[in-house]
Amino acid sequence: MNYYKKRLKAFTLLECLVALLTIAMSALVIQGMTQLINQDLKIMRNSDEKTWQNFCNLLRRELENTEFDRVENDFLYVKTSSASLRFGNISGADDFRKTNEKGQGYQPMIYDVSSASISNNNKVVTIQLTFNKGGKKTFIYAFSKDKHVAE
């Protein structure tokens, strides 16, 4: 009968409620942050910005050691030391590609392209690509006026 007089250490109801409230709020914050991260990942996956940057870098690298020849029928023709090249989008194809001057060979540079428009203004070439998913991107390249390909 003596054990009733002892004070046992225990949690009060108020302390338990505060602990439960803290755990619940922490779970809500974690859930919200998870949803934000998930949305950001979806946006990054659907973004074609990295693909476009890779295409621009690749096309710049391809054009830097060439000499401008002409723009004809929405195709860019350039000369290298060993061959003539053509860049453009063939109707019915969904890519922008590099071929030889006659259109033979197949080296796709970017996919999901519905159309490409290429224009020239004093050796400044403007390539405007329209994508199947929607949206347009423009690539501008200025050929050096005194550049000559070593033969």
Where does the pLDDT of residue 150 fall: very low under 50, low under 70, confident under 90, or very high at 90 and above?
very low
Strand extents, DSSP E, the chain: 67-72, 75-79, 84-88, 95-100, 107-111, 113-121, 124-131, 136-142
Query: Could you read off the pLDDT of 87-109 as tens digits, one per residue?
Result: 998 877 888 889 888 888 878 88
Question: Average pLDDT, stretch 55-61?
Answer: 91
Among 144, 104, 142, 127, residue whose Cα is nearest residue 52: 127
Question: Average pLDDT, stretch 66-79?
Answer: 90
Among 111, 128, 137, residue whose Cα is nearest residue 74: 128
Where does the pLDDT of residue 4 fall: very low under 50, low under 70, confident under 90, or very high at 90 and above?
low
